[in-house]
Amino acid sequence: MTIQTVPTTAFADQKPGTSGLRKKTPAFMKPNYLENFVQATFTAIGGAAGKTFVLGGDGRYFNDRAAQIILRIAAGNGAARVIVGQGAVLSTPAASHLIRLNKTDGGIIMSASHNPGGPEEDFGVKFNTPNGGPAPESVTEAMFAATKTITEYKLLDAPDIDLGTLGRVSLGDMIVDVVDPVADYADLMESLFDFPAIAQMFANGFRMRFDAMCAVTGPYGSEILERRLGAAGGTVTHGTPLPDFGGMHPDPNPTWAHELMAEMFGPDAPDFGAASDGDGDRNMVVGRGIYVSPSDSLAVLAANAHLAPGYAKGLAGVARSMPTSAAVDRVAAKLGIAAYETPTGWKFFGNLLDDGRATLCGEESFGTGSDHVREKDGLWAVLLWLNILAVRKESVAEILAQHWAEYGRNYYSRHDFEAIATDKADAMMSALRASLPTLPGTQIEGMTISAADDFAYTDPVDGSVSQKQGVRILFADGSRIVMRLSGTGTEGATLRVYLERYAPGPEGLDLDPQDALAPVIRAAHALAGIGPHTGRTEPNVIT
Ligand code: G6P
Ligand code: ZN
């Protein structure tokens, strides 16, 4: 086995986004494409020599072969050790945990998250830093710079190694530890939550459905829910990870997790339903006959987290992305703790978590998590809900009703207009931005606009400033419209319209959100001219 220096030419399109490099799988499978990106990653972090990394992915098509290539490049660059999930599989939160637990120099995660997988679908690679979180912009910029100047990469000339068997093997001088992808993560969950209380609830007949969507959380759900907590066999559905996710779009929202929604709203609905995404960091929670919006979920979790042993001492603070509803702010105010408002993107929570300012974080995009790892964590959120249900011994519907009675209800919905021509979407946003100074004081749909701006964020820890993070139109009655273009869409532009209206109660707390928000929706269409600009009058996804 020798280390080869392989000549290569740069690819112009390897700029990592917020979640690493994502492309169609055939693009990743082009000769040298993955090799170049991994070499550039090692170059950007000052080399791999003598370092230890974690490696794993969500098991999508090409995951297994990509892992072998990444290992050979790591060995070629002199890495000392790589900890790999068995079968090259790790959920994103489990990878984050292993990076931290083993005090490694970071990790490489192979995933395109909730995007479909398969020979013609999506693949992705991202680098997480030693804190367990996604690489910050300074690192991804250095990676991109290295992809543009690369002329060669180092590769250990060696055959594939067996990643299916647990244990230690050598790849040249590099150690490869193949570990159980689930065990350490499950232990972490057991250290945070009251497993005996949850197990007792299942023993008493509590029924749950966890839809793993043929993605990575199947084995995690089976081990934790069915084996450790004693939930009935069959609690986990679509529990076998498949390279193409069985053709499912593994994104846990009411549109894509429609099978779960149908069951939870059907005649024999279980007590509790949940789903996670391709790589296990997103979650959706549903009660019997009641959908829990991610913004409400975050607020309920913040209000009740102290019921779980891992959070019994209370929360240091909470953080939410700007478009997420203000429901959690009301909880923070009552608890007397700080509430941070960040731009969209989990990376903005990293400093707040590292600095001990926030314990719980969440986004309207089905992401919830805490300082236990540095990624959002789907199963963690599900287990915190289960812990709360086990202690309070009430239904999801009862818990939500009591929450709204206490804090009032932030009616909330997100309307997505996908695959708009990029120039049309940009023109619409420019016109809207230009109109902002004229809006305050004007009336629409019987509501007065009190403020209108483009959200900017100054990180309280490192002082960095992020501009133009989304247009906000605030109304005197507490209602709010936010509009921004998605940073993760793959086809044209996706317009996201976030709608919120506050009802203090006690009257009017149990309306259909789309009805409660009707005037705000009409105002959004009128103020932005969505129809005239884009030709679209109806969203194609509503969450
Ligand atoms: C990913 C990110 C989240 C973000 C979401 C939606 O899941 O990790 O932080 O909220 O995408 O982002 P988008 O720009 O498409 O609204
Ligand atoms: Zn994900």
ipTM of this model?
0.96
Whether the pLDDT of residue 488 is over 80: the answer is: no
Specify the pLDDT at position 19.
Answer: 80
Q: How far apart are CA 299 and CA 293, in angstroms?
A: 10
The band of 491, judged by pLDDT with boundaries at 50, 70 and 90, is: confident
Whether the pLDDT of residue 489 is over 80: the answer is: no
Cα(486) to centroid of ligand 1, in Å? Answer: 7
Specify the pLDDT at position 495.
Answer: 95
Cα(70) to centroid of ligand 1, in Å? Answer: 26
Share of the chain above pLDDT 70, in %: 100
CATH number of the domain at 478, please: 3.30.310.50
Is residue 378 domain-shared with residue 519, that is, in the same domain?
no
Specify the pLDDT at position 347.
Answer: 87
Q: What is the mean pLDDT of residues 183-195?
A: 98
Specify the pLDDT at position 490.
Answer: 66
Q: Does the beta carbon of 375 lie inside 6 Å of ligand 1?
A: no
Q: What atom in ligand 1 is closest to the CA of residue 344?
A: 10
Instruction: Write out pLDDT tens, residues 191-227.
Output: 999 999 999 999 999 999 999 999 999 999 999 999 9
Specify the pLDDT at position 292.
Answer: 96
As a whole number of angstroms, the longest Cα–Cα distance in the chain is 75
Q: Does the beta carbon of 106 lie inside 6 Å of ligand 1?
A: no
Is residue 378 domain-shared with residue 300, that is, in the same domain?
yes
The band of 172, judged by pLDDT with boundaries at 50, 70 and 90, is: very high
CATH number of the domain at 125, please: 3.40.120.10
Is residue 439 domain-shared with residue 371, that is, in the same domain?
no
Is residue 276 domain-shared with residue 297, that is, in the same domain?
yes
The band of 47, judged by pLDDT with boundaries at 50, 70 and 90, is: very high
Is residue 268 domain-shared with residue 299, that is, in the same domain?
yes
Q: What is the mean pLDDT of residues 26-43?
A: 97
Is residue 118 domain-shared with residue 30, that is, in the same domain?
yes
Residue nearest to atom 7 of ligand 1 (CA): 365
Is residue 253 domain-shared with residue 271, that is, in the same domain?
yes
Cα(294) to centroid of ligand 1, in Å? Answer: 13
Whether the pLDDT of residue 80 is over 90: the answer is: yes
Q: How far apart are CA 20 and CA 38, in angstroms?
A: 11
Tally of structural domains, the chain: 3
267: cis peptide before it, omega within 30°?
no
Cα(161) to centroid of ligand 1, in Å? Answer: 35
User: Residue 275 in contact with residue 213, Cβ under 8 Å?
Assistant: yes
Q: At what angle do helices 195-203 and 378-392 cross, to 10 degrees?
A: 70
Whether the pLDDT of residue 312 is over 90: the answer is: yes
pTM of the model: 0.94
Q: What is the mean pLDDT of residues 462-474?
A: 92
Q: At what angle do helices 137-149 and 33-44 cross, to 10 degrees?
A: 130
Instruction: Write out pLDDT tens, residues 340-374.
Output: 999 998 989 999 999 999 999 999 999 999 999 99
Cβ-Cβ contacts under 8 Å for 200 (sequence gap 6 or more)? 390
Write out the catalytic residue numbers. Answer: 113
Is residue 262 domain-shared with residue 388, that is, in the same domain?
yes
CA atoms within 13 A on the CB side of 533: 22
Is residue 207 domain-shared with residue 347, that is, in the same domain?
yes
Residue nearest to atom 6 of ligand 1 (CA): 365
Residue nearest to atom 4 of ligand 1 (CA): 345
Cα(399) to centroid of ligand 1, in Å? Answer: 28
Q: What is the mean pLDDT of residues 484-491?
A: 81
Cα(284) to centroid of ligand 2, in Å? Answer: 12
How many angstroms from the chain centroid is the CA of residue 237? 21
Question: Which residue bears the tokens 């710079």?
Answer: 145
Q: How far apart are CA 168 and CA 475, in angstroms?
A: 60
Specify the pLDDT at position 136.
Answer: 85
Q: In this structure, which ligand is nearest to the CA of 277?
A: 2
Cα(276) to centroid of ligand 2, in Å? Answer: 8
Q: What is the mean pLDDT of residues 227-236?
A: 97
Q: Does the beta carbon of 488 lie inside 6 Å of ligand 1?
A: yes
Collapsing DSSP to helix, strand or coil, 321 comes out as strand
Output the CA torsion 136→137→140→144 (10° steps). Answer: 180
Which run of H or E residues covers position 287? strand 283-287
Specify the pLDDT at position 341.
Answer: 97
Q: What is the mean pLDDT of residues 313-321?
A: 97
Q: Does the beta carbon of 81 lie inside 6 Å of ligand 1?
A: no
Structural domain boundaries, residue 468:
409-542
Q: Does the beta carbon of 365 lie inside 6 Å of ligand 1?
A: yes
Residue nearest to atom 9 of ligand 1 (CA): 345
Instruction: Answer with the one of 373, 407, 441 that is the final residue of a domain.
Output: 407
Q: Does the beta carbon of 344 lie inside 6 Å of ligand 1?
A: yes
Q: Does the beta carbon of 252 lie inside 6 Å of ligand 1?
A: no
Q: What is the mean pLDDT of residues 176-198?
A: 98
Specify the pLDDT at position 492.
Answer: 85
Q: Does the beta carbon of 490 lie inside 6 Å of ligand 1?
A: no
Residue nearest to atom 3 of ligand 1 (CA): 345
Residue nearest to atom 1 of ligand 1 (CA): 345
Instruction: Answer with the one of 180, 197, 231 that is the final residue of a domain.
Output: 180
Which of 365, 368, 418, 420 best tests ligand 1's pocket when mutated (most atoms within 8 Å of CB)? 365
Mean pLDDT over each residue of the chain, to the nearest integer: 95
Is residue 533 domain-shared with residue 390, that is, in the same domain?
no
Q: What atom in ligand 1 is closest to the CA of residue 376?
A: 8
User: What single string gives the DSSP state of each residue in 1-30?
Assistant: --EEEEE----TT---BTTBEEEEHHHHTS
Instruction: Answer with the one of 391, 407, 423 that is the final residue of a domain.
Output: 407
Q: What atom in ligand 1 is closest to the CA of residue 494?
A: 15
Instruction: Write out pLDDT tens, residues 517-540.
Output: 999 999 999 999 999 999 999 998
Cβ-Cβ contacts under 8 Å for 331 (sequence gap 6 or more)? 299, 302, 303, 318, 407
Q: How far apart are CA 140 and CA 472, in angstroms?
A: 29
Give me 18's structure tokens: 């917020």
Whether the pLDDT of residue 478 is over 90: the answer is: no
Specify the pLDDT at position 211.
Answer: 97
Q: What atom in ligand 1 is closest to the CA of residue 19?
A: 8
Q: Which residues are within 5 Å of ligand 2 (an ion), measured at CB?
A: 113, 277, 279, 281-282
Q: At what angle do helices 518-528 and 422-435 cross, to 10 degrees?
A: 100
The band of 17, judged by pLDDT with boundaries at 50, 70 and 90, is: confident
Is residue 377 domain-shared with residue 423, that is, in the same domain?
no
Cα(488) to centroid of ligand 1, in Å? Answer: 6
Q: Does the beta carbon of 296 lie inside 6 Å of ligand 1?
A: no
Q: Which residues pair with 81 in a beta bridge?
A: 52, 175
Output the CA torsion 88→90→91→96 (10° steps). Answer: -130
Is residue 154 domain-shared with residue 285, that is, in the same domain?
no
